[in-house]
Every structure is written in structure tokens, then in C-alpha cells.
Amino acid sequence: MFIQLILITIMLFGAFLSIKGRIVQRSSVWHLGNMLGGKRLLDEESYPITLEEENLFLRSLSGIRMKIVGALLMGITASLIILFHI
């Protein structure tokens, strides 16, 4: 029973991490879209990307990473819980 409690706690942490990753990704993509929406990208072939835009892009990638790790935590712990019940 104690092992199942630990596994459920890990699974809830995975769900929290997945939700947090989704929020981080969506907010950074939204801010990046607002920044790039004002620029005319078609007129200028190569424009230097600012440090703030690069940070927002990297932040969206870390949000994707959080979602993946959260999904893996939920999947592995769910399979272990099923294994203990069989």
C-alpha cells in the first residue's frame, strides 16, 4: 500500500508538471507572437533576432520538455500501479 501511495504521488507530480509545461509554453508562444506580429518579416529577409525573442523561444521549448517529462512520469507510474494490481 505504501508503494502505491508513492506511485500515486509521483503520478500527480507528473500531471502537475505537464499542466505547468502547457501553461509556460502557451504564454511564451503568445508573447513571442505579439512581438513578431509587429515586424514585417516578408520585407526583410534577414533581421537580427533579439535576445528577448530568443529567450521566449527557449522558454517555449522548456515548456514542451516539461510536458514530455510529465507524460512519461504519469505513464510509467500508471503502468507500475497496474503491474502491482495484477
pLDDT in tens, 41-72: 555 566 677 888 889 889 999 999 999 999 99
In the chain, the number of structural domains is 1
pTM of the model: 0.78
Of 71, 82, 68, residue with least CA distance to 15: 71
Domain enclosing residue 22, as ranges = 2-40+48-85
Q: Which of 35-44, 62-71, 72-81 has the lowest mean pLDDT?
A: 35-44
- Three-point CA angle 19, 24, 26, nearest 5°: 95
Helix, strand, coil % over all residues of the chain, rounded to 5:
85, 0, 15
Positive or negative, the Cα torsion across 28, 31, 34, 37? Answer: negative
Say whether pLDDT at 24 is over 70. yes
